[in-house]
């Protein structure tokens, strides 16, 4: 597989030449169709990384390429999901899922003439995540876990080449979070879109990812890369296996060392 996302010596400084250096010399390579996770201590630049890759923020130095093209502005090939679902409360679930089709080309142009085709596509996604029958409900009629399932559907409805996930399950209880790991894994195994997950949950990273990048304290840079060579589909039982625990403990020890260095500084 060829590299789909590549960061080469990327720096990001907020607030001008004397501002805060968030990232310094960051190098990352993610192959097409790969599921990558980024972990590290708070303030290490994980969310800044998301803004850089999607073109929402330009780097101060270095180069970012996606699908072989240098990123010079906001990308259209991206789907995004965040910790809070941000579903529009006045729109029904089906309409919320279809929202990107009203914005992103060429779907925006095709939508008036092919609406039923897109409706069936949205319903198919909702069925995949267990929300068939809820198409006409409003977000406030759904649980947090159900809203986050719909949020994933909305991020995928326009078939993005790249899915960016910023702590998408962080606000959910442990059981719902683990259930949605399985849902996301099932969708990814069927669609095989390139995915970057930012998370504080090391078990989540090891469950979902093919490769995990560990960031240093600010200014952030990649200090370790872990390949997760565990068979798929993974289950909650997988999280108790020695090979899984070994990966989680290795990463936890690296982050603990970083935190100790911060305290000692």
pLDDT digits (tens, 9 = 90+) for 72-102: 999 888 998 887 778 999 999 999 999 999 9
Measure the CA–CA gap between 103 and 251, rounded to whole angstroms: 39
At 261 the pLDDT is 76
pLDDT above 60 for 145 = yes
pLDDT for 43 equals 78
**Could you tell me the residue range of the domain that residue 29 belongs to?**
1-74+205-265
Structure confidence at residue 265 (pLDDT):
62
pLDDT tens sequence across 160-172: 999 999 988 887 8
Distance CA 147, CA 130 (A): 11
Determine, yes or no, domain membership for 118.
no
Contact in structure between 31 and 3 (CB atoms under 8 Å): yes
Whole-angstrom Cα distance, residue 41 to residue 221? 12
| pTM of structure | 0.91
The model's pLDDT over 233-255, given as tens digits with 9 standing for 90+, comes to 999 999 999 999 999 999 999 99
What CATH number has the domain bearing residue 5? 3.40.50.300
DSSP secondary structure letter of residue 190: H
What tens digit of pLDDT does each residue of 188-247 get? Answer: 999 899 999 999 999 999 999 999 999 988 888 999 999 999 999 999 999 999 999 999
Residue 181 lies in a domain: no
pLDDT of residue 19: 87
* Residue recorded with tokens 């919320």: 96
Q: Quick check: is 182 in a domain?
A: no
112 assigned to some structural domain: no
> What would the two tokens of residue 102 be?
């009203």
Beta carbons within 8 Å of 169's beta carbon, 6+ residues apart: 83, 148, 176, 177, 180, 181, 201, 204
Say if residue 99 is exposed, middle or buried (CB neighbours under 10 Å; 0-12, 13-18, 19+).
middle
Report how far residue 220's alpha carbon sits from residue 223's, in angstroms, rounded to the nearest whole number: 9
**Domains identified in the chain, total number:** 1
Name the band, by pLDDT with cuts 50, 70 and 90, for residue 105.
confident
What is the C-alpha to C-alpha distance for residues 54 and 64, in angstroms, rounded to an integer?
10
Higher pLDDT among residues 77 and 33, named by residue: 33
pLDDT of residue 259: 80
Distance (Å, rounded) from C-alpha 50 to C-alpha 171? 19
Predicted pLDDT of residue 168: 86
User: Does a cis peptide bond (omega within 30 degrees of 0) precede residue 131?
Assistant: no
In a domain, 101, yes or no: no
The C-alpha atoms of residue 153 and residue 124 are separated, in whole angstroms, by 9
Tell me whether residue 213 is in a domain: yes
32 with 210: CB under 8 angstroms?
A: no
CB 65 within 8 A of CB 71: yes
Is 153 exposed, middle or buried (CB count within 10 Å of its CB: 0-12, 13-18, 19+)?
Answer: buried
In the chain, % helix, strand, coil (3-state, to 5) comes to 40, 25, 35
Indicate whether 52 belongs to any domain.
yes
- Reply yes or no: is the peptide bond before residue 219 cis, omega within 30 of 0: yes
How far is it, in rounded angstroms, from Cα 201 to Cα 203?
6
Residue 44 above 90 pLDDT? no
Asked if pLDDT for residue 29 goes beyond 70, the answer is: yes
- Number of neighbours of residue 178 by Cβ within 10 angstroms: 17
Q: Residue 209 is encoded by which pair of tokens?
A: 């990812």
Q: Is 24 helix (H, G, I), strand (E, B) or coil?
A: strand
Can you list the positions of beta strands (E) in 92-171? 162-166
Specify the pLDDT at position 1: 57
Distance CA 185, CA 178 (A): 11
pLDDT band of residue 153 (cuts 50, 70, 90) is very high
Could you tell me if residue 253 is inside a domain?
Answer: yes
Reply yes or no on whether the pLDDT at 124 is more than 70.
yes
């Amino acid at each position: 597989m060829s590299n789909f996302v590549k960061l080469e010596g990327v720096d990001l400084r907020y607030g001008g030449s004397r501002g805060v250096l968030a990232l310094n010399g960051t190098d990352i390579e993610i192959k097409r169709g790969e599921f990558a996770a980024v972990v590290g201590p708070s303030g290490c630049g994980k969310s800044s990384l998301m803004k850089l890759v999607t073109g929402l923020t330009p780097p101060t130095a270095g180069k970012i390429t996606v699908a072989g093209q240098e990123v010079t502005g906001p990308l259209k090939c991206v789907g995004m999901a965040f910790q809070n679902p941000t579903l529009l409360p006045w729109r029904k679930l089906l309409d919320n899922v279809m929202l990107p089709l009203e914005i992103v080309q060429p779907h925006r142009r095709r939508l008036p003439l092919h609406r039923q085709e897109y409706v069936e596509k949205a319903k198919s996604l909702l069925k995949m995540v267990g929300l068939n029958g809820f198409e006409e409900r409003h977000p406030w009629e759904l649980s947090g876990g159900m809203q986050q399932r719909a949020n994933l559907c909305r991020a995928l409805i326009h078939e993005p080449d790249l899915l960016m996930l910023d702590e998408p399950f962080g606000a959910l209880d442990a059981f719902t979070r683990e259930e949605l790991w399985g849902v996301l894994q099932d969708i990814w195994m069927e669609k095989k879109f390139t995915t970057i997950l930012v998370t504080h949950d090391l078990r989540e990273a090891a469950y979902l990812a093919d490769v995990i990048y560990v960031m240093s304290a600010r200014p952030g840079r990649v200090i370790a890369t872990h390949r997760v060579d565990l068979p798929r589909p993974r289950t909650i039982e997988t999280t108790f296996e020695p090979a899984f625990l070994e990966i989680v403990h290795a990463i936890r020890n690296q982050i603990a060392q970083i935190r100790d260095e911060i305290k000692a500084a």
